[in-house]
Amino acid sequence: MRQLDTKEIILASHNAGKLTEIRELMEPYGFNITSVGEKGLPEPAEDGTTFEENAYTKAYAAAGATGMIALSDDSGLCVDALGGDPGVYTADWAEMPDGCGRDFLMAMEKVETALAEKGAVNPDQRRGYFCAVLCLCWPDGHAEYFRGEAHGQLVWPPRGELGFGYDPVFQPDGHTRTFGEMESSEKHSWSPDSKTDSGDGPNEGLSHRARAFAKFATELLG
């Protein structure tokens, strides 16, 4: 695995929520994170069929445009009863009909409508997970990948004004509140020295992004 030897990284995202979360996660390590959105760079077309493919597309484009090591996050909601949809098309489900922006309330309603059509009423019929793949890419195209998943159930109606995306309808296992009802620090539930509740080992984090980042930090940041 190639080692990371800089504290200056470009985040390949225009999503302000992701930028905030990544900055919070990397703050203990002293990284300076800027984003392609802040630099006004365009978003590449994401036509991959896996989170890894789309993560690489974004990271490689950012690294090539800036000459910096780039970090990307491709993530999505995978619902068991829907055959894994929306999956890599999670953001697409939120696209406005006129093409002017994204509406995640509309996207959450699409998921709920699809579940209703499947007759998914009971909690065990409404299982799913958030997946996040972090891709760290160098300007020469070399890349490292880190995957994290958070499993839980889909609730309705949406609950909470925090978080972003589909957070208000996702209730992680072991909790009675949705990601949309959690402050970001609780949603992550991870730091370099955090432990499990029993104190018998490192805490992998709660959110999919935190779990992917925990692997990233363990393998690259020491």
Task: Identify whether 184 is part of a domain.
Answer: yes
Give the pLDDT confidence score for residue 201 in this predicted structure.
43
Task: Identify whether 1 is part of a domain.
Answer: no
Name which of 116, 207, 203 is nearest 170 in CA terms. Answer: 207
The two three-digit tokens of residue 168, written as one number: 């208000």
pLDDT digits (tens, 9 = 90+) for 12-60: 999 888 888 889 888 889 999 999 999 999 989 989 999 999 999 999 9
Taking CA atoms, 40 is separated from 70, 174, 202, in Å, by: 15, 40, 38
Task: Identify whether 32 is part of a domain.
Answer: yes
The two three-digit tokens of residue 9, written as one number: 């990284």
Contacts of 182 (CB under 8 A, 6+ apart): 160, 162, 163
Domain around 116: 8-221
Task: Identify whether 30 is part of a domain.
Answer: yes
Q: How many domains does the chain have?
A: 1
The whole-number average pLDDT for the span 64-70 is 97
pLDDT digits (tens, 9 = 90+) for 70-127: 999 999 999 999 999 999 999 999 999 887 889 999 999 999 999 999 999 999 999 9
To the nearest whole number, what is the mean pLDDT of the chain? 91
Catalytic residues: 74
pLDDT band at 196 (very low <50, low <70, confident <90, very high): very low
Task: Identify whether 80 is part of a domain.
Answer: yes
pLDDT band at 198 (very low <50, low <70, confident <90, very high): very low
CATH code at position 71: 3.90.950.10
pLDDT at 185 over 60: yes
- The whole model's pTM is what? 0.89
The better pLDDT of the pair 218, 153 is held by 153
CA–CA distance, 215 with 156 (Å, rounded to integer) = 32
Give the pLDDT confidence score for residue 191 in this predicted structure.
65
